[in-house]
Amino acid sequence: MTRLTNLLRHISRHAPNMALPAATLRTGARMPLLGLGTGPGSVGTWQTSTEPIYEAVKVAIDTGYRHIDNAESYAEEQAVGRALQEKVGSVVERKDIFITSKLWNTRHHPDDVLPACQRSLTDLGLDYLDLYLMHFPVAWTRGDVYYPKDENGRAVLATPDVPFMDTWKSMEKLVDAGLVKAIGVSNFNISQMEEVLTNGRIKPAVNQVESHPYLVCSKLLKCAADNNVIITAFSPLGRPGEESLHGVSPLKDPKVVSIAEKHKKTPAQVCLRWQVQRGVVVVPKSTSPARILENSQIFDFQLSTEDMETISGLNKDARIVKFGMCDDHPQWPFNGEF
């Protein structure tokens, strides 16, 4: 019997018997506070095979996850769809699992929004999405090249430019058509999120942003709470294993390690717990069954007020994902407040 088989049996025995805690969206839908992220290891890179994601989604559902976070640009939705086809109807009912996808930068033209959503639905094997996000506020040139670049490595921007509110209006029509239950944004700063809140016929339900103990986003979190927007944190662990690229390693921070030892938990579990206690949804990515299980074991302990303040005090505004190839665009979000 293989080590993996043993682990999967352990997961089956220890899978939660009740639904994981969830945030309530402005639509009234319940969005589990823990989801499985399926994105690439770093921006602009993809797995050589989608098989690990296919297996990871199946393991996650068996473990008790009821929230899967996807995007067209990850080029993995067909693999996710295969896993869902195996598990939905046998392990979980469709109504009990929350599926997110995202509209990529090359699909911002109003004529491209509906086909992009339909493509994701087809690849995922679904009739509707629970949540559809605008992946980034800057429009890139239309087409099927996810990262169109010029000879200088700069993103080729849409010409003419497509204001993100024009894209948003087309996303609203997806809700009207019943293809998506809720819409939201991703990588939007405070002023950009407020623009959608002010001018959108349908208000954004979610803003998904990078957040971890070294990138706390406290101002954005307060603004979101004041406006009934849920924040989802991607890279909530600071992308372990890439420290040489970005120098960010909250999992190795002595204060995080000390708090983890006190609670007999891992630093990763402490970082995830800190987020969910703030009301932030987390979507850590892993293809390791052991890590998928570990990341789910964050609802059986409580961080103290002192613990929470200590972790929040680690903020360095240390952003990993910067989309620097278009940082001269007026809507590049990272010049604004988060």
What is the domain count for the chain? 1
333 and 216 Cβ atoms separated by less than 8 Å: no
- Helices within the chain (DSSP H only): 3-14, 51-63, 77-87, 110-124, 164-176, 190-199, 218-226, 243-246, 254-263, 267-277, 289-296, 305-312
Burial zone of 119 (CB within 10 Å; 0-12 exposed, 13-18 middle, 19+ buried): middle
SS3 label, residue 74: helix
Taking residues 194-206, report their average pLDDT: 98
Given the residues 74, 128, 132, 146, select the one marked as catalytic.
74
Taking residues 15-41, report their average pLDDT: 86
SS3 label, residue 210: strand
In a domain, 174, yes or no: yes
Chain mean pLDDT for the chain: 93
Q: State both tokens at 35.
A: 């989801």
In a domain, 11, yes or no: no
Asked if pLDDT for residue 42 goes beyond 90, the answer is no
Q: For residue 211, give its domain range.
A: 29-335
* CATH number for 159: 3.20.20.100
In a domain, 7, yes or no: no
% residues pLDDT > 90 (the chain): 88
| pLDDT tens sequence across 74-92 | 999 999 999 999 999 999 9
In a domain, 131, yes or no: yes
Taking residues 130-139, report their average pLDDT: 98
pLDDT grade, residue 120 (50/70/90)? very high
In a domain, 170, yes or no: yes
In a domain, 122, yes or no: yes
- C-alpha 338/C-alpha 322 separation (Å) is 13
In a domain, 2, yes or no: no
In a domain, 3, yes or no: no
Asked if pLDDT for residue 150 goes beyond 80, the answer is yes
Q: What pLDDT shows up at residue 4? A: 44
Asked if pLDDT for residue 149 goes beyond 50, the answer is yes
Q: What pLDDT shows up at residue 43? A: 45
Q: What pLDDT shows up at residue 272? A: 98
Q: Is 74 a catalytic residue?
A: yes
| pLDDT tens sequence across 248-282 | 789 999 999 999 999 999 999 999 999 999 999 99
Q: What pLDDT shows up at residue 48? A: 61
Asked if pLDDT for residue 10 goes beyond 60, the answer is no
pLDDT grade, residue 45 (50/70/90)? very low
- C-alpha 184/C-alpha 94 separation (Å) is 21
Q: What pLDDT shows up at residue 17? A: 45
SS3 label, residue 197: helix
